Amino acid sequence: ALPRDLEGRRVVVSAGGTREPLDPVRYLGNRSSGKQGYALARVAAQRGATVTLVGANTSELPDPAGVEVVPVSTAEQLAAAVRDAAPAADAVVMAAAVADFRPATLAEHKIKKTDDMSAPTVPLTRNPDILAGLVASRPKDQIVVGFAAETGDERGSVLDHARTKLKRKGCDLLVVNAVGEGKAFGTDDNTGWLLSQQGLQWRIPLGSKSRLAATVWDAVGELMRQPGQR
Ligand code: PMT
């Protein structure tokens, strides 16, 4: 049987990939399916937590049992939904792949080809860093977990990047996925490392996304049982 160690806890999980509209029919997006975030939400609910799942473009996935799902599409919508739910949460896990940039303007009509073979240039603007905002405004004792999708062939370069990101973002835990051809995005399995702000590091062997989710909640549960240790 699963532990009920999250009984009485409230958690927020983000999942999926944001879409940043360019014109009425096009968007900038990414390959996140939402499966990892959904597994996190499902496992947390099974372990007794009250779960709010903010899903970016995840309508293909069935709602996990007993979980409140808030559907969003853009990074700004995801930011607003997470900001609404986070103040009451004991833990927030950001598994969503959020676009760092969006088209600076939304064309009112579909962008058309011209006869002169030229191509348009699309100016981009920065999206808010939701994770950094969460860390800056969190209630005392709230645990914040980030995910990092890193490309890089060598273990060293992936982990170096991730440690820098963990320091910069200031979250308690960071799950590092090596991504690239056929890895992490859209798959049923996942692997990587779990890094803590205190410098601890665990290797997460290749396994189901539910298995990885259980590892994350184990670590979050540890931190919850030792408030003030962060
Ligand atoms: O959805 P699946 O197909 O199952 O795939 C899962 C996954 C690979 C998408 C997931 O495991 C994962 O790694 N998610 C984070 C991917 C990512 O966008 O990482 P990042 O390095 O760009 O962002 C780092 C962290 O900051 C993330 O927690 C992200 O949610 C957060 N972020 C990023 C940009 C931004 N503007 N605001 C943010 O809060």
ipTM of model: 0.99
Tell whether the model's pLDDT for residue 81 goes beyond 80. yes
> Radius of gyration of the chain from Cα atoms?
18
pLDDT, mean of residues 36-54: 98
**Band of residue 153 on the pLDDT scale cut at 50, 70, 90:** low
The answer to whether 209 is a known ligand-binding residue is no
The protein residue whose alpha carbon is closest to atom 9 in ligand 1 is 32
The answer to whether 183 is a known ligand-binding residue is no
Tell whether the model's pLDDT for residue 179 goes beyond 90. no
| Ligand 1 neighbourhood includes 100 CB (under 6 angstroms) | yes
Average pLDDT, the chain: 94
Tell whether the model's pLDDT for residue 155 goes beyond 70. no
Contacts 24+ apart (CB under 8 A), 67-71: 67/41, 67/42
Three-class DSSP category at 223 = helix
Q: Do residues 43 and 65 lie in contact, with contact meaning Cβ atoms separated by under 8 Å? A: no
User: What confidence score (pLDDT) does residue 147 get?
Assistant: 97
**Band of residue 199 on the pLDDT scale cut at 50, 70, 90:** very high
Distance 1 CA to ligand 1 centre (A): 30
Helices within 51-121 (DSSP H only): 75-85
How far does Cα 78 stand from its chain's mean position? 10
pLDDT, mean of residues 9-20: 98
- Helices 35-46 and 209-225 cross at an angle (nearest 10°) of 50
**What proportion of the chain, given as a percentage, has pLDDT over 70?**
97
**pLDDT tens across 25-40, in order?**
999 999 999 999 999 9
Instruction: Please give the residue that has the higher pLDDT: either 182 or 162.
Output: 162
Token digits of residue 113: 């080809």
| Ligand 1 neighbourhood includes 34 CB (under 6 angstroms) | yes
* Token pair 């303007």: residue: 105
HSE, CB side, 13 Å, CA atoms: give it for residue 75: 20
Tell whether the model's pLDDT for residue 229 goes beyond 70. no
Annotation marks residue 190 as catalytic = no
Distance 149 CA to ligand 1 centre (A): 6
| Ligand 1 neighbourhood includes 70 CB (under 6 angstroms) | no
The answer to whether 153 is a known ligand-binding residue is no
| Ligand 1 neighbourhood includes 55 CB (under 6 angstroms) | no
Tell whether the model's pLDDT for residue 210 goes beyond 70. yes
The answer to whether 165 is a known ligand-binding residue is yes
The protein residue whose alpha carbon is closest to atom 14 in ligand 1 is 95
**pLDDT tens across 87-130, in order?**
999 999 999 999 999 999 999 999 998 889 899 999 999 999 99
Name the residue among 94, 90, 100, 99 with its Cα closest to residue 81: 94
